[in-house]
């Protein structure tokens, strides 16, 4: 795409493109048969992630959704119960895949930012155990998401994770951490990846979000857990051949793209701050902890669809999640892009609001994939400026 056509890509950090240097690392990758455990680049990446997360072993996957499916499969038996936050990616955005692949019940905990506490977990366990066994579902696993995507890129503190993990352990439940953006949490909090990961029995990292690689996620846990995960990865047809081509991009990202996540967080903060100064826009994440900004423009008279379509006409792509607009910063979004996006929004709001369906003339279908049927997440009042 020429720069004249470039749309500022704020729909998701998954839109990030491999850099020129990453493409060179990919082109030069040493490769072998991953399915046989013989790809040297994949093996190097697995060892590196196991060390980073303080786990005995790690296993390469094409993406994070399969890490969740395989981990949940290893931790549970059909008809077991998994406890997760109500906005968890496994509930909202994985096509009920855990019901299909693991035949489990998922018990949701309602929280505000995707972060629950030990008493929320105790209450969920109480709900599951109101009837005596064998009628009651059998809770086996707690899933946490670090950072929490639909919770606004929220970061679990180490204390919050430890409290939930300790109770889970005392109740005989395992803990699985969806760490799609764990390194954003590390950079934002200063807590190490290993400290966060120590609160979970299984944990994975995604390389295709803010880290900017095109393919790859790595799941980590005990040696026995990973041996079983390898079996289910094959069952789910996830084993590959010369996957080092992709793993090389992930190693490159680990070396070069971690500390810079702080820039994405600063850019998200700048965007939230500027949007909060615009009358009629209610920002749910006025002080984003990481790289996501959620806001509601309905106070301006614009419908989400028309707003997104008009924004695209002016060179900016954002998406809609649960009735709100979501903007996600990443390595292809600069501080200047944030300012351009804010200027585009200000210009739109000077025109007459279009409250109806998406303007057909724009030729742009805002990310309908992200239109979710769940109720909008309640916004706290926007602080006065």
> Residues near 187 by Cβ (< 8 Å), separated by ≥ 6?
258, 259, 261, 262, 265
How many other CB atoms are there within 10 angstroms of residue 78's CB atom?
9
The SS3 call for residue 80 is strand
Q: Which stretch binds ligand PLP (CB under 6 A): 16-24, 28-36, 59-67, 346-354?
A: 59-67
Token look-up 């109480």 returns 126
Q: Determine if 208 is a binding residue for ligand PLP (CB under 6 A).
A: yes
Give the bridge partners for 204, in sequence order: 178, 219
Is 95 or 130 the residue whose CB approaches ligand PLP more closely?
Answer: 95
Q: Determine if 206 is a binding residue for ligand PLP (CB under 6 A).
A: yes
Smallest gap from Cβ 367 to ligand PLP, in A, equals 12
> Residues near 299 by Cβ (< 8 Å), separated by ≥ 6?
279, 280, 281, 282
CB 258 within 8 A of CB 265: no
How many other CB atoms are there within 10 angstroms of residue 255's CB atom?
11
8-state DSSP, 4: G
Q: Which stretch binds ligand PLP (CB under 6 A): 32-40, 61-69, 258-266, 352-360?
A: 61-69
Identify the H or E element spanning 340.
helix 335-349
Closest CA to 45 of 27, 69, 61: 61
Smallest gap from Cβ 145 to ligand PLP, in A, equals 5
Is 285 or 362 the residue whose CB approaches ligand PLP more closely?
Answer: 285
Residue nearest to ligand PLP (CB): 64
Smallest gap from Cβ 59 to ligand PLP, in A, equals 14
Is 63 or 353 the residue whose CB approaches ligand PLP more closely?
Answer: 63
Q: Determine if 63 is a binding residue for ligand PLP (CB under 6 A).
A: yes
CB 97 within 8 A of CB 156: no
Q: Determine if 362 is a binding residue for ligand PLP (CB under 6 A).
A: no
φ, ψ dihedrals at 82, nearest 5°: -115, 135
Residues 135-164 as x/- pattern, contact with ligand PLP by CB under 6 A? ----------x---x---------------
φ, ψ dihedrals at 7, nearest 5°: -100, 130
Q: Determine if 366 is a binding residue for ligand PLP (CB under 6 A).
A: no
Residues 173-202 as x/- pattern, contact with ligand PLP by CB under 6 A? -----x-x----------------------
Closest CA to 86 of 377, 379, 384: 377
Radius of gyration of the chain from its Cα atoms, rounded to whole angstroms: 21
Is 181 or 230 the residue whose CB approaches ligand PLP more closely?
Answer: 181
Is 26 or 154 the residue whose CB approaches ligand PLP more closely?
Answer: 154
Is 206 or 337 the residue whose CB approaches ligand PLP more closely?
Answer: 206
Q: Round to whole Å and give the CA distance between 16 and 250.
A: 13
Is 31 or 98 the residue whose CB approaches ligand PLP more closely?
Answer: 98
The SS3 call for residue 18 is coil
Q: Determine if 217 is a binding residue for ligand PLP (CB under 6 A).
A: yes
Q: Determine if 326 is a binding residue for ligand PLP (CB under 6 A).
A: no
Cα angle: 267, vertex 14, 83; to 5 degrees: 100
Is 89 or 274 the residue whose CB approaches ligand PLP more closely?
Answer: 89
Q: Round to whole Å and give the CA distance between 315 and 310.
A: 9
Residues 11-30 as x/- pattern, contact with ligand PLP by CB under 6 A? ---x----------------
Is 176 or 274 the residue whose CB approaches ligand PLP more closely?
Answer: 176
Q: Determine if 289 is a binding residue for ligand PLP (CB under 6 A).
A: no
Residues that bind ligand PLP (CB under 6 A): 14, 63-65, 89, 145, 149, 178, 180, 206, 208, 217
């Amino acid at each position: 795409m020429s720069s004249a056509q470039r749309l500022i890509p704020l729909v998701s950090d998954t839109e990030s493109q491999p850099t020129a240097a990453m493409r060179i690392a990919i082109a030069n990758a040493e490769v072998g048969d991953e399915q046989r455990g013989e790809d040297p680049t994949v093996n190097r990446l697995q060892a590196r992630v196991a060390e980073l997360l303080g786990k005995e072993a790690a296993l390469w996957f094409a993406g994070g959704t399969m890490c969740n499916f395989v981990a949940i499969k290893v931790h549970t038996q059909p008809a077991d119960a998994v406890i997760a936050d109500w906005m968890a990616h496994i509930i909202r955005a994985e096509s009920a895949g855990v019901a299909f692949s693991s035949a489990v019940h998922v018990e949701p905990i309602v929280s505000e930012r995707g972060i629950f506490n030990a008493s929320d977990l105790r209450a969920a366990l109480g709900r599951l155990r109101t009837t005596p066994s064998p009628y009651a579902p059998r809770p086996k696993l707690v899933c946490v998401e670090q950072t929490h995507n639909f919770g606004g890129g929220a970061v679990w503190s180490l204390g919050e994770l430890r409290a939930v993990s300790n109770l889970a352990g005392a109740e005989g439940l395992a803990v699985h951490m969806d760490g799609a953006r764990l390194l954003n949490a590390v950079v934002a909090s200063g807590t190490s990846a290993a400290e966060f990961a120590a609160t979970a029995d299984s944990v994975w990292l995604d390389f295709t979000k803010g880290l900017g690689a095109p393919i790859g996620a790595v799941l980590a846990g005990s040696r026995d857990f990973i041996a079983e995960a390898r079996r289910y990865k094959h069952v789910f047809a996830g084993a590959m051949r010369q996957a080092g081509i992709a793993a090389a991009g992930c190693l490159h990202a680990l070396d070069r793209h971690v500390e810079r996540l702080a820039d994405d967080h600063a850019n998200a903060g700048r965007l939230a701050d500027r949007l909060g100064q615009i009358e009629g826009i209610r920002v749910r994440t006025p002080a984003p902890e990481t790289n996501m900004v959620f806001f509601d423009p309905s106070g301006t008279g614009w419908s989400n669809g028309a707003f997104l379509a008009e924004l695209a006409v002016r060179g900016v792509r954002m998406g809609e999640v649960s009735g709100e607009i979501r903007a996600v910063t990443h390595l292809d979004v600069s501080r200047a892009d944030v300012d351009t996006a804010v200027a585009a929004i200000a210009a739109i709001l000077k025109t007459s609001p279009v409250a109806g369906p998406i303007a057909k003339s724009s030729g742009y279908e805002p990310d309908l994939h992200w239109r979710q049927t769940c109720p909008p997440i309640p916004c706290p009042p926007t602080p006065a400026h």
